[in-house]
Structure 1
Amino acid sequence: MTAATAGAPVRVYQAHAKPAWRRVLLTRESTIIAILAIVIAFSLIAVPNFDSPLTVTYLLRDIAPILLIALPMTLIIITEEIDLSVASIVGLSSVMVGILTQAGLPFVLAAILAVLVGAVAGMVNGFLVTVVGLPSLAVTIGTLALFRGIAVGLLGTTAITDFPEAWSDLAKANIPGTPVPMIMVPFAILAIVFAVLLHFTPFGRSLYAIGLNKEAAAFSGIDVGQTKFILFVFSGSVSGFAGVYFTLLYSNARGDNAMGMELQIIAAVLLGGVSIFGGRGALHGVIAGVLLIGTLGSALRLAGITSDIINVITGLLLVASVVSASLLAWLQNRRSAAIGKKKGRTAADAV
């Protein structure tokens, strides 16, 4: 065992060597939450109509699919993998629920089948990554095009817009007496489930172990392949559900629905403190990251900023989050190396 893992790079985080208050307050997740609070406070003061209940409603409606898919994406990236096909699965699920509803199936059955299609798409990704052994980046770039091509091929340039009014109204409805959309209820349930799974179960601890060193995780008894396969199925299923919601919200089933959404999801996950190199991240930071990008975009639109400029700002945030994480890791490694050398010299002097 020692010989097999001797050459593998071992990455560990020394967070628990710090006082508890520093572990809680001086983290990337806390920083993002603080920035979110500052952006909200500034927008309430300086941006016209930002304090309107309609702003809250439309903001949460728009980011709901991103919030949903960011949950399984967080788990995937923690294991040092990635899924770029999620937006294409949303589009495929949207097309499936439209075609099945148009064919006369009850909407509930059509929605369930569309979610199952998303799960099957996730299985395809999981099989190619864990059984065939291909890199998830290459696999999901390929399936991004594959699933989108199937979706567009099924409907062509047409769109299906005829859906049961009761379900469309439900997708647009708010929780009674609040400006909060009803979609936040299933999101809250899923967020709790994923948070418990990630932070309070052996399965969640295994994800961090895989992200830090998959060889060591395998030697400790973790079934790395099966664990990653499950995560891709989670991702496909939640993306399928997001596709059903997306379709009802806009009353529109098209093959190009959610085009480009995968970049917004990954940007929010990385901005929320999840390491692109795996082994680190927390769901509360990711949720704050999604809310930060959504709030910033909403405030800028209300201020009259064009979508192109908003995209540039989002891209800069993503680059800054990745660069800052790498810089902090580099500084921490240098500090650890310096401390190690100092201890070595002290021990040598004592001898």
Structure 2
Amino acid sequence: MKSQSIQIDLTNERKEKPPADQLAFGKVYTDHMFVMDYTEGHGWHDARIVPYQPFTIDPAAVVFHYGQTIFEGLKAYAGDNGKVRLFRPEQNMARLNRSAERMCMPQIDEEFALEALKELLRIEKDWVPTAEGTSLYIRPFMIATEPTLSVDAAKSYKFMIILSPVGSYYKEGIDPVKILVENQYVRAVFGGTGTAKTAGNYAASLKAQEQASELGYSQVLWLDGVEKKYVEEVGSMNIFFKINGEIVTPALNGSILHGITRDSILKLLKHWDVPVSERRISMEELKQASDNGTLEEVFGAGTAAVITPVGEMKWEEENIIINDRKTGEISKKVYDNITGIQLGKLEDPFGWIVEVE
């Protein structure tokens, strides 16, 4: 596949770009998209960049009935040198393949997919916003297109990449949020699809998130699906706790997404010689740490916001207040350093940045 060429069909009708202060998340899309098809026995074929447009798909396509679909999320940033910058994009392509394996979908050539993304970004370079806090969100995804109602893995697929300029996740700084610990619903269990970035995981989270929002909470903190005792994820992000000077995050256990921001934070903390632990952590332990004054910070981590500080957790009848509802020192330092590396304002000691030439 590495030798496969990419056919390019450019549009003559360019969209008007919205002002930076009017950018929301995932509402506006660029002029072009990447598309590639898979057919069993033939492999991936017809790689192309075409004008952004709807596409026709059979009503019996497997994706509609049995949820065979996966996706990724990453961002492109405008560097001070005029080049477009990507943050660890090879990790996203690798994770896409891990999701594909779990969902019985074909593997992509990661190097080719990354080159296709770069070519798309070269064409859409003017869509990368330059205002502070803005970026170009990148959504690679794969769907099963075979028209059959048989409960089997499909024999045909479509891989696509679409782009969307997005504004700052936080309009007024990284203010701590309130989260609700979910005791009724579960997101995933060991042996399920929790480690895959597949649509069903997110659909399963909507009811709990809806109820949390109605109660005034920004996110749901998920517990393990068996004992409903151990912390797993917050919303669509991984979660970190600072307890008595040590940063603790739930260990990857088969039902927690392998977050790229999570991995980056762990590497950064170890680079700073900050004590870090990946292990099981229960709500009882967190409540005890809160009671004895050693629960110092809590923050979520993901692509969209990088860091989401948590100022309050509601667990059963307990309101756990963290750091007087203020952003903690480590939370702010991690946010400043990762965004600094992404934008080229700080040195990148890990070789994480890929520039689009």
Q: Above 0.5 in TM-score? A: no
* Larger relative contact order (Cα-Cα within 8 Å, sequence gap ≥ 6): 1
Larger radius of gyration: 1
Q: Please identify which structure carries the higher helix content.
A: 1
TM-score of the aligned structures, taking structure 2 as reference length: 0.24
TM-score of the aligned structures, taking structure 1 as reference length: 0.24
